[in-house]
Amino acid sequence: MGRLASRVAIVTGGSRGIGRGIAELFAKEGARLVIVGRDRSSGDEVVDAIVRAGGEAMFVAGDVALAETAAAMVAAALDRFGRLDILCHNAGIFPEVRVDDMTEAQWDRVMDVNLKSTFLATKACFKPMRAQLYGRIVLTSSITGPIVGNPGLAHYSASKAGMEGFIRTAAIECAADGITINAVEPGNILTEGLAATLGQKHIDAMTAAVPMGRLGEPIDIAWATLFLASDEARYITGQRIVVDGGQTLPETRSGVN
């Protein structure tokens, strides 16, 4: 406990699923939080839970694809807490549509929310982090794109692969200022959205492809994110951690059993 004591963190997409898991773990470890999302009611619910547990948090509503949201979340952290130490950029969308049916607007929206927002959030955080010669930026990427593909997710795959290309160069540009940038690549994580969308039959099939025999939980991603956001990872930058229960290890599905 207390690995993030005195630190101030922004968590985008922090009102549900993986983002909420990250926010709640960070709060337990002593971080003061700015949670960013589009749904104010869900965001306020997370803030209330953190405050009831003895933590400090606030919510900023906005679309991460817009520069004004990035500016607002950084301003909120500085106004409320006086500094900014950690950015966990977790917000993202993954609407399924195959390439033949995909519209230009659908492609652009996924790129804006997943990839453009990475640039906007990172750029907005650079100035205060550089001023204090300290910063930890952790992106929620995916195994889909950097390692594997999935029909219906070409736009999502491209956005996540692009995200990891971005961190390699951005990490070089800010390394001398005490800022690290890394990514966590989740496999299939059982969130409320996944359960509601796919149904039990699909979830069972996904589970059968994981050597550990279960889907991940938000806390599994939160622990990896916590490591990269802490001083324990102070000499790691431009890297990625795969958290998938071994899903990407077998050469074929028959290798799982």
For 75, residues 6+ apart whose C-beta sits below 8 A from its C-beta are none
The one-letter amino acid at 153: L
Catalytic residue among 156, 180, 189, 243: 156
Alpha-carbon span 241 to 223, nearest angstrom: 11
Per the CB < 8 A criterion, the answer to whether 65 and 14 are in contact is no
Catalogue the E-assigned strands of 212-257: 240-243
Q: What's the token pair of residue 164?
A: 């990891």
Per the annotation, the verdict on 156 as an active-site residue is: yes
Beta bridge partners of 59: 35
Alpha-carbon span 179 to 122, nearest angstrom: 11
The one-letter amino acid at 32: R
Tell me the catalytic residues. 156
